[in-house]
């Protein structure tokens, strides 16, 4: 939980830092913008004040000085006192911002001359004035347009207000007000350090923002890589650690999918073909999933599907529909290889479908895993369902298994084995189960590891043999019981079977031992000695899953084998490959010539059944022909005599 939160905490810190930097950025931009707005507001206020003063002066001037501009100029020249009063009125307009204020007249020769001057450095009456842009000034004067001109080329000046004083359609004079830039210089002097500081901070924050963006991008890429399977591109276990806390489990079913006999694919064709099989699997699964479903590669050849169930959806029906669609898609969509042709893949599925809102992910995963093991132990190429409301223990402890066995809760199911016509039952395979307190059944993968190599395991073996003998004493038909190779090497189990053979010789004579998990056993001489001991008791020997390992042909040549079951991978995956078909035909003929029987396992559908009619196997077994049952039919099926060697 804590590890899963660490990326979220880091991401939160990054987001907080981004918000902080964004705040500084906003502050710097706001101060700069506010300084500009303050400057504009200040200038607008000054200009409004100057304009109002100029307007009042113009009205007063027209009232106090009637006559034409020529008459006014002559009068001001002849009457210094009137000129002095005019200058004083102009001086009243000056303040800390207005540096110069004067009144100009455009004489008949087109030259500007001073009429009055309120500046410290006064111009003489009718003294010539030369503006920097004479044509523009004369145009403003004659048209009577009020204008503000930039005067930045003059040191200490900023702008000039040109205010023509009009009397009807004529311009009598033009008031000029020059206001200084010193107040802006002071303003800039105060604001500039703040702006520079914020500008520096802004540059730094932009750099940090870019750095954080790169860090977040790298974090996203690394995280995406850490939660994606590099081969298939789907989510991996890393993503599963996050999904277990983020998904609303009450809206999801869980399907666990295992690619059957994947090890055999790698061993037979190579790992490149194995990778191709995984990609083919993902391609099929993705086509069947909806937008809100999630696909996870959980292990080497194991995948999880989190199937979304909307409001009002029947979880169980929804899950079963998907499981059946997956099985059907794999049967109908073989993998095409340029060298090997069509390779038929099959999967086993465990299904957890429940609308219960109280789902613990670990519990759901364990229950689905148990359902998958049931599917695999029941013949593969099928699905097994675990109800969400089922109350069975997810991890079956030794004490519970021991108690079930001591209370004689062992249950045997029997799966029929047919002649190749698919109609005549010739024998049964015995399959062990344990019944729990709530009535549900435990399958071998649920409990065998808990009691392996203990006295409880021996007791369970005794009870299984006793139940099988009791059943087939009443039904005189051949039957088989599964034993791991380590069981056969155990002297206690051999002594148990020898004791039963002495008590039930006729029934034991119809019994066969199916040897499991023998592929990695290299001491063929010792194995031959062990099997001969059982042969001496009248028990036939069957090799299970022939073709799933590398030492099979050596075993066939040197061990006392009466029958072998051809591994499903050889039958199903390679059945349409002409070379594989010839190999299977040759293998079954070799078996007949050497006195051995052959059984084709996992006859899962009609297509497989029809194809096997072209292969001279002796027996067929699979869900298409018959599923395991707790009872043997009372009507005695026809059967072949037991093969004796």
Q: Are residues 261 and 137 in the same domain?
A: no
Asked if residue 208 is part of any domain, the answer here is no
Q: Please, what is the average pLDDT of the chain?
A: 81
> What is the Cα–Cα distance from 97 to 338, expressed in whole angstroms?
92
Question: Among the listed ranges 152-156, 392-396, 411-415, 602-606, which one has the minimum average pLDDT value?
Answer: 392-396
pLDDT at 337 over 70: yes
pLDDT at 384 over 50: yes
pLDDT confidence of 317, banded at 50, 70, 90?
confident
> What is the Cα–Cα distance from 415 to 641, expressed in whole angstroms?
19
CATH number for the domain harbouring residue 615: 3.20.20.450
pLDDT at 480 over 90: yes
Q: Which of 367-371, 484-488, 496-500, 569-573 has the highest mean pLDDT?
A: 496-500
Chain segment 57-86, per-residue pLDDT in tens: 888 888 888 777 777 778 877 788 888 888
CATH number for the domain harbouring residue 98: 3.30.450.40
> How many angstroms separate the Cα of 233 from the Cα of each of 20, 284, 329?
36, 14, 21
pLDDT at 325 over 60: yes
pLDDT at 641 over 50: no
Q: Are residues 518 and 617 in the same domain?
A: yes
The average pLDDT across 143-155 equals 78
The average pLDDT across 243-258 equals 82
Tokens coding 224: 């995406």
Distance of CA 19 to the CA centre of its chain: 27
> What is the Cα–Cα distance from 305 to 253, expressed in whole angstroms?
8
pLDDT at 5 over 60: no
Q: What is the pLDDT of residue 413?
A: 94
Asked if residue 307 is part of any domain, the answer here is yes
The average pLDDT across 295-319 equals 87
The average pLDDT across 215-238 equals 72
Question: Among the listed ranges 345-354, 381-390, 469-478, 595-604, which one has the minimum average pLDDT value?
Answer: 381-390
Tokens coding 550: 């590398």
Q: Are residues 345 and 446 in the same domain?
A: no
Q: What is the pLDDT of residue 153?
A: 62
Asked if residue 247 is part of any domain, the answer here is yes
Question: Among the listed ranges 111-125, 493-507, 548-562, which one has the minimum average pLDDT value?
Answer: 548-562
Q: Are residues 364 and 402 in the same domain?
A: no
Q: Are residues 438 and 566 in the same domain?
A: yes
The average pLDDT across 382-399 equals 59
More confident call, 74 vs 644 = 74
> Which of 122, 150, 180 is a domain's end point?
180
pLDDT confidence of 412, banded at 50, 70, 90?
very high
Question: Among the listed ranges 140-144, 215-219, 304-308, which one has the minimum average pLDDT value?
Answer: 215-219
Q: Among positive and negative, which fits the CA dihedral 72, 78, 82, 83?
A: positive
Q: Are residues 353 and 248 in the same domain?
A: yes
Q: What is the pLDDT of residue 595?
A: 92
More confident call, 471 vs 579 = 471
Contact 471, 510 (CB under 8 A): no
Structural domain for 266, as ranges: 228-390
pLDDT confidence of 144, banded at 50, 70, 90?
confident
Question: Among the listed ranges 69-78, 141-150, 319-328, which one has the minimum average pLDDT value?
Answer: 69-78
Other Cβ atoms closer than 10 A to 92: 12
Asked if residue 355 is part of any domain, the answer here is yes
pLDDT confidence of 644, banded at 50, 70, 90?
very low
pLDDT confidence of 508, banded at 50, 70, 90?
very high
Q: Are residues 533 and 406 in the same domain?
A: yes
pLDDT at 203 over 50: yes
Encode burial over 578-609: b for 16+ CB neighbours within 10 A, e otherwise: eebeeebeebbeebeeeebbbbbbbbbbebbb
Other Cβ atoms closer than 10 A to 170: 12
Chain segment 9-21, per-residue pLDDT in tens: 556 766 776 776 6
pLDDT at 348 over 80: yes
Q: Are residues 632 and 510 in the same domain?
A: yes
> Which of 368, 390, 412 is a domain's end point?
390
Least Cα distance to 310 among 322, 292, 287 occurs for 292
Q: Are residues 431 and 459 in the same domain?
A: yes
> Which of 373, 390, 407 is a domain's end point?
390
pLDDT at 202 over 80: no
Chain segment 21-55, per-residue pLDDT in tens: 677 677 767 766 776 677 777 778 878 888 888 88
The average pLDDT across 132-142 equals 89
Residue with tokens 């030369």: 130
CATH number for the domain harbouring residue 267: 3.30.70.270
Tokens coding 322: 């998907």
Asked if residue 401 is part of any domain, the answer here is yes
Asked if residue 299 is part of any domain, the answer here is yes
Contact 567, 548 (CB under 8 A): yes
Q: Are residues 453 and 551 in the same domain?
A: yes
Q: Are residues 371 and 417 in the same domain?
A: no
| HSE-CB for 70 with a 13 A CA cutoff | 4
Least Cα distance to 192 among 269, 534, 200, 466 occurs for 200
Q: Are residues 352 and 406 in the same domain?
A: no
Least Cα distance to 170 among 117, 109, 102, 105 occurs for 105
The average pLDDT across 607-623 equals 90
Asked if residue 172 is part of any domain, the answer here is yes
The average pLDDT across 129-133 equals 86
pLDDT at 427 over 90: yes
**Angle formed by the axes of helices 491-503 and 455-474, nearest 10°:** 20
φ and ψ of 599, to 5 deg: -125, 130
What is the tally of structural domains in the chain?
3
Chain segment 556-601, per-residue pLDDT in tens: 788 899 999 987 777 766 566 777 788 888 889 989 999 999 999 8
Q: Are strands 425-435 and 597-600 parallel, antiparallel or unpaired?
A: unpaired
Asked if residue 15 is part of any domain, the answer here is no
> What is the Cα–Cα distance from 604 to 623, expressed in whole angstroms?
5
pLDDT confidence of 475, banded at 50, 70, 90?
very high
């Amino acid at each position: 939980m804590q590890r899963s939160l660490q990326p979220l905490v880091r991401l939160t810190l990054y987001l907080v830092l981004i918000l902080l930097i964004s705040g500084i950025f906003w502050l710097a931009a706001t101060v700069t913008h506010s300084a500009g707005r303050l400057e504009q507001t200040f200038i607008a206020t000054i200009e409004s004040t100057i304009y109002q003063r100029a307007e009042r002066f113009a009205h007063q001037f027209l009232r106090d000085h009637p006559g034409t501009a020529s008459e006014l100029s002559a009068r001001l020249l002849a009457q210094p006192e009137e000129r002095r009063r005019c200058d004083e009125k102009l001086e009243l307009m000056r303040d800390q911002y207005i540096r110069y204020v004067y009144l100009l007249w455009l004489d008949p020769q087109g030259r500007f001359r001073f009429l009055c001057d309120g500046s410290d450095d006064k111009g003489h009456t009718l003294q010539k004035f030369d503006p920097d842009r004479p044509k523009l000034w004369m145009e403003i004067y004659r048209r009577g347009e009020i204008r503000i001109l930039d005067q930045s080329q003059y040191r200490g000046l900023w702008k000039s207000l040109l205010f023509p004083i009009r009397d009807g359609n004529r311009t009598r004079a033009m008031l000029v007000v020059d206001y200084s830039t010193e107040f802006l210089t002071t303003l800039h002097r105060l604001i500039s350090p703040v702006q520079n500081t914020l500008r520096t901070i802004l540059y730094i924050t932009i750099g940090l923002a870019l750095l954080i963006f790169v860090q977040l991008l790298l974090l996203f890429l690394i995280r995406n890589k850490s939660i994606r399977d590099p081969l298939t591109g789907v989510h991996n276990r890393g993503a599963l650690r996050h999904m277990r806390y983020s998904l609303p489990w009450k809206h999801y079913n869980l399907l666990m999918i295992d690619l059957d006999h994947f090890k055999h694919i790698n061993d037979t064709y190579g790992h490149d073909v194995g990778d191709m099989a995984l990609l083919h699997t993902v391609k099929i699964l993705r086509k069947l999933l909806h937008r809100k479903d999630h696909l996870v590669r959980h292990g080497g050849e194991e995948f999880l599907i989190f199937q979304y169930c909307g409001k009002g959806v029947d979880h169980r029906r929804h899950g079963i529909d998907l499981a059946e669609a997956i099985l059907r898609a794999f049967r109908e969509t073989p993998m095409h290889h340029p060298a090997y042709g069509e390779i038929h893949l099959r999967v086993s599925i465990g299904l957890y479908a429940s609308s219960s809102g109280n789902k613990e992910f670990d519990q759901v995963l364990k229950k689905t895993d148990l359902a998958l093991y049931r599917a695999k132990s029941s013949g593969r190429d099928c699905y097994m369902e675990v109800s969400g409301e089922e109350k069975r223990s997810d991890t079956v402890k030794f004490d519970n298994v021991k108690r079930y066995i001591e209370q004689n809760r062992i249950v045997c199911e029997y799966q029929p084995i047919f002649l190749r016509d698919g109609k005549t039952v010739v024998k049964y395979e015995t399959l062990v189960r344990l019944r729990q307190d709530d009535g549900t059944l435990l399958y071998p993968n649920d409990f065998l590891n808990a009691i392996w190599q203990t006295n409880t395991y021996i007791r369970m073996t005794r009870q299984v043999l006793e139940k099988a003998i009791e059943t087939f004493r009443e039904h005189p038909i051949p039957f088989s019981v599964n034993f791991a190779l380590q069981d056969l090497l155990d002297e206690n189990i051999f002594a148990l079977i020898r004791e039963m053979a002495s008590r039930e010789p006729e029934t034991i004579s119809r019994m066969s031992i199916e040897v499991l998990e023998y592929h990695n056993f290299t001491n063929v001489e010792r194995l031959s000695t062990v099997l001969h001991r059982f042969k001496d008791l009248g028990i036939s020997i069957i090799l299970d899953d022939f073709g799933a390992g590398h030492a099979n042909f050596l075993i066939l040549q040197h061990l006392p084998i009466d029958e072998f079951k051809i591994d499903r991978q050889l039958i199903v995956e390679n059945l349409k490959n002409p070379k594989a078909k010839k190999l299977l035909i040759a293998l079954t003929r070799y078996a007949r010539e050497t006195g051995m029987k052959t059984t084709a396992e996992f006859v899962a559908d009609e297509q497989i059944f029809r194809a096997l009619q072209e292969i001279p196997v002796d027996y067929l077994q699979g869900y298409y022909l018959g599923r395991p049952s707790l009872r043997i039919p009372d009507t005695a099926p026809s059967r072949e005599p037991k093969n004796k060697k």
